[in-house]
Amino acid sequence: MTVPTAETVAEHLAALIRIPTVTPKDAGPHDEATAATFAALEETMRSFYPRVFGHEVEAVGRAGLLVRIPGAAADRPVVLMAHQDVVPVPRDWEAEGWEHEPFEGAIVDGWVFGRGALDDKGALTVMLEAAESLLGEGWTPAHDLYLLMGADEESYGDCATTAATLLSSRGVTPWMVLDEGGAVAVGAFPGLSGEAAVIGVSEKGIVDLRLTVEGLGGHASTPPRESAPGILARALARIEDNPHPSEVNDVSVEMLELVAGRLRGPLGALLRRASSLRGVLARVMPRLSPELAAMVRTTVAITQLEGSPAHNVLATRATAVLNIRVAVGSSVEEAVDHVRRVVHDPRVTIEVESPSEPSPVSPRGDDARWAALMESVGTSYPDALTIPYVMLAASDSRFLAPMSGATYRFAPLRMTKPQREAVHGPNEKVEVESLGRGVAFYRALLTSDRLA
């Protein structure tokens, strides 16, 4: 069996995009239509990758799949992850600005368009293509290889937690985990030309807070001096006016100093001294952009608001949901305590929902796993600068990270700034040529002497 061409990979990805595996809305069982959709995706993957699915396949969660490919040794197992589900698409997708129907899987001018092209069916496809082609050549992994394909990552479902529990119950301790997260980014840093392979070595924690204020209700013609929404609004304003303290962590310092090596002028000179200028950077970075602010502090986003059911009825209850991303080096407890101190109003009750602590920081430097990743990037994207970073979003890998020796977050696909902005938005697309490079990355990683 030969290595698949980028065009073949693109055709397979397009076929997977055409199966609209929209993430479940809640943690309950799948309805018949949803179950049938995920079953159709599994059937299609089995037809494309018979050697991969010819191994031991187990269901995890509602539609997650865990494939074990036995290696020459059972110790130091490697887990590669990608998820099957995608975020929903608005009914008026044309008004949102899509050039092609989101689930058409159109291949036009060297690009594959569609929901999931980048998040995360693109990575899922190149991972499976690499394993399938190697198995076709008679390859056996040096150590047990697990492919974990979640089906509810976008809705914080239980596929990954179920898989983690299952592996733990069998005494399987992953030596290395690789999931989505970073990418081969273009235009990721001011002044940096060319590509940067940005690999997440940790990720921020996540917790939701539900703020509630009770009111008396009544007719809107006789409003009280202080209403439930008004009290809640003042609390939310205080939260936005008093952000969490900022601090530049060790991973960010390492990232900035590596980027500085390719920068000229004052910015390069500044970043080369990042380690000794942490305090200055902590004050300056939040002023430059929301992305840089998120790199150096715990962030709070007000995502949902609810009040009266009618325009002329006073609210008997006003609620807001805060989505908090907890900085590495901090904790859920510290993040919640900060909000409580800032709100400082007993009329506002604060409930903690779905807490998840920041992930451990994985090894870099001369560690064999990091070296394998760098060499695999060098094989597939020879001009890219490989740098570590703290992932700002949340991935399924956070459930395996506490039990893993090293957990990394990287999809070997090129992403420009417009592409990154299209994730969860209109015109999500991936370059066909980059799909071929993604397969090359996974093949190099799976056959690396570093992992032997």
Is 29's pLDDT higher than 80?
no
pLDDT of residue 270: 86
pLDDT of residue 27: 67
Strands 407-415 and 176-186: parallel
Helix/strand/coil percent split, the chain, to 5: 40, 25, 35
Beta bridge partners of 388: 199
Decide which of 267 and 132 is more confident.
132
The amino acid at residue 84 is Q
Quick one: average pLDDT of 128-140?
Answer: 97
pLDDT of residue 192: 85
Residues 383-392: tens digit of each pLDDT: 999 999 999 9
Strands 429-431 and 111-113: antiparallel
Query: pLDDT band at residue 450, thresholds of 50, 70 and 90?
Result: very high
pLDDT of residue 1: 65
Residues 335-346: tens digit of each pLDDT: 999 999 999 999
Report DSSP state, residue 66. E
How far are the Cα atoms of 42, 104, 209, 304 from residue 322, in angstroms, in the given order? 35, 35, 5, 7
Average predicted confidence (pLDDT) for the chain: 95
Residues 195-222: tens digit of each pLDDT: 999 999 999 999 999 999 999 888 889 9
Quick one: average pLDDT of 61-81?
Answer: 96
pLDDT of residue 31: 84
Strands 107-108 and 111-113: antiparallel
Q: What backbone torsions phi and psi does residue 435 show, to the nearest 5 degrees? A: -65, -40
Locate 221 and state its tokens: 């013609």
Residues 164-199: tens digit of each pLDDT: 999 999 999 999 999 999 999 998 887 888 899 999
Contact 393, 203 (CB under 8 A): yes
Beta bridge partners of 325: 206, 299
What are the residue ranges of helices labelled H in 289-386? 290-296, 332-343, 368-380
Which residues touch 137 (CB under 8 Å, ≥6 apart)?
A: 1
Query: For the chain, what percent of residues have pLDDT higher than 70?
Result: 99
**Distance, first Cα to last Cα, the chain:** 23
